[in-house]
Amino acid sequence: MLDFQYYSPTRVVFGRNAVKELGGLLKDRKKVLLHYGGGSVKKNGVFDAVVEQLKAAEIDYVELGGVAPNPKIGLIREGVKICKEQGVDFILAVGGGSVIDSAKAIALGAKIDFDVWRLYETKERIDGALPLGSVLTIAAAGSELSNGTVVTNPEGGLKRDYGADYLRPEFAIMNPEYTFTVSKYQTACGTVDILMHTFERYFTHTPDVDLTDELAEGLCRAVIRAGRKAVENGNDYEARATLMWAGSISHNDLTGLGRRGDWATHQIEHELSGQYDRVSHGAGLAVIFPAWCRYVWKEEPERFVRFAEKIWGVDTKGMTQEEAVFAGIECCENYFRSLGMPVRLSEMDIDDTHLHEMAVKGTYFGKRTLGGFKVLDEADIEAIYRIALK
Amino acid sequence: MLDFQYYSPTRVVFGRNAVKELGGLLKDRKKVLLHYGGGSVKKNGVFDAVVEQLKAAEIDYVELGGVAPNPKIGLIREGVKICKEQGVDFILAVGGGSVIDSAKAIALGAKIDFDVWRLYETKERIDGALPLGSVLTIAAAGSELSNGTVVTNPEGGLKRDYGADYLRPEFAIMNPEYTFTVSKYQTACGTVDILMHTFERYFTHTPDVDLTDELAEGLCRAVIRAGRKAVENGNDYEARATLMWAGSISHNDLTGLGRRGDWATHQIEHELSGQYDRVSHGAGLAVIFPAWCRYVWKEEPERFVRFAEKIWGVDTKGMTQEEAVFAGIECCENYFRSLGMPVRLSEMDIDDTHLHEMAVKGTYFGKRTLGGFKVLDEADIEAIYRIALK
């Protein structure tokens, strides 16, 4: 087990009446930036419920909607300007991971006097950001408890991340009912993203992480069941609740403590959805992960056998090691497919045109390698894209 | 699943070099009360390591040692006086649960102008407490992340608790090596206490808590293995690390979210160790829990069958429901015994002299019932003590 720090200070208010705590949580705030996405929160009543609480608590606010999936730096710059001009002292993200990531970017930008994209490019450290909180409406990204934010710059199709402890939101309002209207497709994407946040931490060569393994495997089993149920019936409260809470703790570090994670699949996917804006992050992960598995499993087959047995419930008795490894990978792929996810690039109408270019960009033009389970260079990344093709 | 709030803001610094972060964590503190127990931290070098960091960071401190197991209100009053007279602005607990609980009591007392025991008696709310942190030396109580404190008043042999979010420590320094010198007996007590913090949350009639169940069961399985190893070999770093981290997250609410817990075993034990100061909390729990199980299982046998299967790995195929229930209870009891714990009152030289009196005190003289899985009155509590006798 490796040394670690764990810091997850976000106050979680979970359940059907969670939004009623909002006024108390925002007490003493002078002006709140209400940040949201494409307007679904206005249709399903969540926005009104939030505004009602703000009004009741006499909290002044200004709105900025329009966050798209893979949030763009343009709208973020607009948000930064609003915060500076109007003296905003708190950002409330009403939405899913994209909205929260966008809010985190604005929170960073509001505290600096240069363009916020520079932080994502250079990773330079700053002292702090505006405080923020969220009203969660999609279970997936885990941004509501995480220290990270991922933003896309359409100039060059670049997707970059930034992380800092002060970006962990002060609170998260989580009402599973707010996710009832999430489509089957987006529910499936969310389920994949949640699983992947733990899988990225699970594939490691660090020995002796028994407790973390137990927590990780237990979380995945519960998510696999809940994802199936929520895709089948969007109004299943318990399944939605499981996905919502699992989404948070799958990405607040709990399932990876004491070991080095991998994260190559995420980074390879970032280049994919950076290049093809129509690709949802979760769907991109569903395509890349099985290909990554097939490319790297020989680094430690035992880990993949455990993955098959403990997470997918494969009875490996009588199998060779290689058969057991591939049984696990296929279970995973079949599960993604059963949720309606693509598992090959061709299913998303992507051919080999940009594969080399994405591999180059994925290494920041040769400045970094990806992954920890197997260290990947440009050629490896391209090979994984090619395995994922058909 | 019930609505819940989850708030665990403590920064955990875990591993062999954790203490080196102390100076940074205490930055800007004017005067620290260094609170500790019977002196073992002075023998094993932990105290010196802490003082070295304080001196290097030029942080002024005052000492108060002498916390005993089942921490007493007398020393706490002394601590409160020191804090008030010397302008202490932070309490650093160096020890296990008793020291941290004592520190929390002092932190409360320093902020009020009446005797702190009154809070434990009346549960009245106050606005806040002095901030505190810990350098953990015993894995057991989970007080390093919890919002609670339990204190004993030798006048009347009363043991009472108090809880508030502001009592959650700012940070916890956790170096598993600091627990290498914990005796086999105390390691066993700690293991039982850790398991019990999850068992108390596990026995519930609340349905649909799949994720919480998975986390709880996974944690217990890891603790059962690690407890065995740590009792066998005190210098097993990985086993000590598992117990240390499990101790924290077994009692920061994570393993009970979304359901109502029971807690009768803890409360019945508090009367026992309140009455008999020689009884360690963990040993008391090891005696009471199997008796509690035998008394309450009929309330929901299915839950006890799951306990047998998922936590103790009992293959219940071919068993009647009752056989499966008792197989689980016996596995648990045998495990406690294998660690060197007593599992009957007679093994601690306790006879029936005070059983009725303890039952009466356990209900706060008829003012409350205990437990949620089965609601227990005075007669029930006495019956459980009697089952535990021999």
What ipTM was assigned to the predicted interfaces of this complex?
0.94
Q: Are residues B90 and B198 located together in one domain of the fold? A: no
Q: Which of residues 89-128 of A touch B (CB under 8 A)?
A: none
Answer whether B246 sits within 8 Å of A211, measured CB to CB: yes
Same domain, yes or no: A71 and A220: no
Q: Are residues A161 and A241 in the same domain?
A: no
User: Counting beta carbons within 10 angstroms of the beta carbon of residue A59, is it exposed (0 to 12), middle (13 to 18) or buried (19 or more)?
Assistant: buried
pLDDT of residue B369: 96
Contact A210 B219 (CB under 8 A): no
Q: Is residue B169 part of a domain?
A: yes
Query: In the predicted model, is pLDDT for residue A325 greater than 90?
Result: yes
**Is B64 exposed, middle or buried (CB count within 10 Å of its CB: 0-12, 13-18, 19+)?**
buried
Q: Tell me the angle at which helices A355-362 and A378-389 cross, rounded to the nearest 10 degrees.
A: 140
What tens digit of pLDDT does each residue of A66-123 get? 999 889 999 999 999 999 999 999 999 999 999 999 999 999 999 999 999 999 999 9
Percent of chain A with pLDDT over 70: 100
pTM, two decimals, is 0.95
Residues A94 and A216 in one domain: no
In a domain, A211, yes or no: yes
**In the predicted model, what is the mean pLDDT of residues B143-154?**
94
What end-to-end distance do the CA atoms of chain B give, in Å? 38
pLDDT 10s digits, B178-225 = 999 999 999 999 999 999 999 999 999 999 899 999 999 999 999 999
On the question of pLDDT at A274 being above 90, the answer is no
Cβ B199 vs Cβ B303: under 8 Å: no
Q: Is residue A2 situated within a structural domain?
A: no
Residues B231 and B89 in one domain: no
Q: What is the mean pLDDT of the segment spanning A272-298?
A: 95
Amino acid in position A314: V
Q: Is B9 an interface residue toward A (CB < 8 Å)?
A: yes
Same domain, A261 and A349: yes
Same domain for A201 and A167, yes or no, is no
pLDDT greater than 90 at residue B158: no
What residues have CB less than 8 Å from A23, skipping those under 6 apart?
A: A53, A54, A56, A57, A59
Lowest average pLDDT, out of A47-51, A191-195, A226-230, A273-277, goes to: A273-277
Closest-CA residue of chain A to B2: A15
Nearest-Cα distance to chain B for A209, in Å, is 8
Beta bridge partners of B94: B36, B135
Return the structure tokens found at B338: 């294998």
d(CA A170, CA B49): 33
Predicted confidence (pLDDT) at residue B277 exceeds the cutoff of 90: no
CB contact under 8 A, A6 and B6: no
**Residue A368 CB burial class (10 angstroms; 0-12, 13-18, ≥19):** exposed
Do B291 and B384 meet the contact criterion of CB atoms below 8 Å apart? yes
Query: Which residue among B210, B215, B219 places its CB closest to the CB of A225?
Result: B210
The beta strands (E) that lie in B181-321 are given as none
Q: Do B15 and A8 touch (CB under 8 A)?
A: no
Nearest chain B residue to A236 by CA: give it.
B208
| The two three-digit tokens of residue A302, written as one number | 């035992």
CB of A364 less than 8 A from some CB of B: no
Cβ contacts of B14 on chain A, cutoff 8 Å: 3-6, 257-258
Can you give the pLDDT at residue A98?
94
Shared-domain flag, residues A226 and A173: no
Closest chain B C-alpha to A98 CA, distance in angstroms = 23
How close A77 comes to chain B (CA, Å)? Answer: 31
Contact of A313 with chain B, judged by CB distance below 8 Å, is answered with no
DSSP secondary structure letter of residue A30: S
Residue A53 lies in a domain: yes
Q: At which of A147, A162, A178 does a domain end?
A: A178
Residue A70: its pLDDT value, please? 85
Q: What is d(CA B36, CA B72) in angstroms, rounded to the nearest whole number?
A: 13
- Residue B2, chain A, CB below 8 Å: the answer is yes
A246 touches chain B (CB under 8 A): yes
Q: How far is A15 from chain B (nearest CA, A)?
A: 4
Query: What single-letter amino acid sits at A257?
Result: L
Decide if A56 touches B, using CB distance below 8 A: no
Check A214 against B219: CB less than 8 A apart. yes
**Residue A339 domain flag:** yes
Does residue A208 surpass a pLDDT of 90?
no
Tell me the pairing of strands A158-163 and B4-14: unpaired
Q: Is B14 on the interface with A (CB under 8 A)?
A: yes
Q: Is the residue at B5 inside a domain? A: no
Query: Is there a contact between B219 and A222 if contact means CB atoms under 8 Å apart?
Result: no
Coil vs helix vs strand at B136: strand
Chains A, B: CB contacts under 8 A, how many? 110
Considering only CB atoms, B15 lies closest to which of A4, A238, A245, namely A4
Asked if residue A241 and residue A192 are part of one domain, the reply reads yes
Nearest CA of chain A to the CA of B246: how many Å? 7
- Please check whether residues B138 and B229 belong to one and the same domain: no
B131 Cα to chain A: minimum distance (Å): 15
Domain final position from B178, B205, B224 = B178
Confidence of residue B244 (pLDDT cuts 50, 70, 90): very high
Find which of B27, B147, B173, B211 to mutate to test the A interface (most A CBs within 10 Å of its CB). Answer: B211
Residue with tokens 């596995």: B331
Q: What is the CATH number of the domain that holds A255?
A: 1.20.1090.10
Q: Is A178 on the interface with B (CB under 8 A)?
A: no
Distance CA A299, CA A309 (A): 18
**Can you tell me the mean pLDDT for B57-78?**
96
Contacts of A303 (CB under 8 A, 6+ apart): A202, A203, A204, A205, A373
Question: Based on the domain organization, do A273 and A374 belong to the same domain?
Answer: yes
CA distance B33 to B63: 6
Per the prediction, chain B carries an average pLDDT of 96
Question: Which secondary structure element, helix H or strand E, spans residue A199, and what is its range?
Answer: helix A184-202
Quick check: is B2 in a domain? no
Contacts for A85 with CB less than 8 Å, ≥ 6 apart: none
Of residues B70 and B118, more confidently modeled: B118
How distant, in Å, are the alpha carbons of B61, B66, B90, B131, B294 from that of B31? 5, 20, 7, 12, 51
In this prediction, residue A116 carries a pLDDT of 98
d(CA A344, CA B258): 38
- The separation between CA A280 and the C-alpha centre of its own chain, rounded to angstroms, equals 11
Confidence of residue A226 (pLDDT cuts 50, 70, 90): very high
Q: What is the mean pLDDT of residues A313-330?
A: 98
Tell me what percent of the residues of chain B surpass a pLDDT of 90: 93
Are A223 and A353 found together in one domain?
yes
CATH at B67 = 3.40.50.1970
- Residue A319 belongs to domain spanning: 183-389
Give the closest of B4, B16, B242 to A210, CB-based.
Answer: B242
The pair phi, psi for residue B91, each rounded to 5°, is -115, 125
Structure tokens at B159: 């043991």
What local confidence, expressed as pLDDT, does residue B16 receive? 97
Helix, strand, or coil (residue B72): strand
- Whether B268 and B381 have beta carbons less than 8 Å apart is answered as yes
pLDDT of residue A277: 85
Look at residues B159, B178, B197 and tell me which one is the last residue of a structural domain. B178
Residues B280-303: pLDDT tens digits?
999 999 999 999 999 999 999 999
How large is the average pLDDT for residues A214-243?
98
Q: How far apart are CA A94 and CA A229, in angstroms?
A: 25
What is the spatial distance between Cα B284 and Cα B331, in angstroms, rounded to a whole number? Answer: 18
Whether residue A66 is contained in a domain is answered as yes
* Number of domains making up chain B: 2
